[in-house]
Amino acid sequence: MNEQILVSPADLMGDGVFETLHLRPSGPWLLDQHLDRLARSAALLGLPPPPPVTPPAGQTGVMRIIYTRNLFHVGVTPIPEQVLRERRDGIRVLSAGLGVSAGRQPPWSLSTAKTLSYGTNFAARRWAARHRADDVIWTAIEGQVLEAPTASVVWLAGDELGTVPWEEAGILPGITAAHLLSLAPSVGLRPVQRMITLPELAAADTIWLTSSVRGLAEVVTLDGVNRKRSPWTARFLRLLGF
């Protein structure tokens, strides 16, 4: 990100929302869903409805929308090499307790909003990197799987294609995960949203982290344990247009 923008110091306090989209030759992927989520996040922060977005023409890569009380910014950057590598080769993941209770969020909780207060998300990923891992799966105090710092958790267990219910878990509603689950019946799978414990997740046939730009990253080791590679990864990537 070499682009420079003019902001007020108040814009630097994490009090805003954002969306990250995969900008394809055909346009921003799942644009309406991302704009809906942006508006939902903004409402949770007491921001006015966001202004309309004109997608950048003739560009591909990562499209980011940033919206604060003083600023509305749309920028495009190249897809990082690491993201392409993780989409292709999978990721090593560690689980870790987030120290929060899924069912006891405070009334002002922003845990279902995509806010600019992303410090902890970055810190969790730096922690993973220090432990020779690529990413983290967060768990609640009560033991349920929540989400990853920048992705949703999706699993395949028999014919169940599952993800975590965002409202019950108090997590961000994952757009890529919801879209993939909506396609499940077309490939003979059963979409399921349910709470899952870490041992249950580890026992699934395959685990992925899903997000807009990385798409689908297969978990190849979880807490240091190697996992069998799945033929579904390539199939899902094609299904999602990657």
Pick from 24, 48, 78, 123: which binds its own copies (CB under 8 A)? 123
Q: Would you state the structure tokens that stand for residue 85, as one six-digit string?
A: 């590598």
Does 12 help bind its own copies (rule: CB under 8 A)? yes
Pick from 18, 178, 234, 240: which binds its own copies (CB under 8 A)? 18
For residues 190 and 160, the answer to whether their CB atoms sit within 8 Å is: yes
Q: Are strands 72-77 and 91-97 parallel, antiparallel or unpaired?
A: unpaired
Q: How far is CA 238 from CA 32, 52, 159, 220, in A?
A: 21, 30, 19, 19
Dihedral, CA atoms, 11, 17, 23, 29, nearest 10 degrees? -170
Does 78 help bind its own copies (rule: CB under 8 A)? no
Which strands form 72-77's sheet, in the order they lie side by side? 27-28, 17-24, 61-67, 72-77
d(CA 1, CA 10) in angstroms, rounded, equals: 21
For residues 216 and 210, the answer to whether their CB atoms sit within 8 Å is: yes
CA 70 to chain centroid, in Å, comes to 26
CB of 80 to its own copies, least distance (A): 12
The SS3 of residue 113 is: coil
For residues 213 and 22, the answer to whether their CB atoms sit within 8 Å is: yes
Q: Which stretch binds its own copies (CB under 8 A): 51-59, 119-127, 174-182, 230-238?
A: 119-127
115 or 233: whose CB is closer to its own copies? 115
Enumerate residues 139-158 that contact its own copies by CB under 8 A: 141
Pick from 88, 104, 132, 229: which binds its own copies (CB under 8 A)? 104
CB of 70 to its own copies, least distance (A): 9
Pick from 93, 98, 171, 209: which binds its own copies (CB under 8 A)? 98
CB of 184 to its own copies, least distance (A): 32
Amino acid identity, residue 82? Q
Does 127 help bind its own copies (rule: CB under 8 A)? yes
Site string for its own copies, 32-61 (x = CB under 8 A): ------------xxx---------------
List residues binding its own copies (CB under 8 A).
1-16, 18, 44-46, 64, 66, 68, 71, 73, 75, 96-101, 104-110, 115-120, 122-124, 126-127, 138, 141
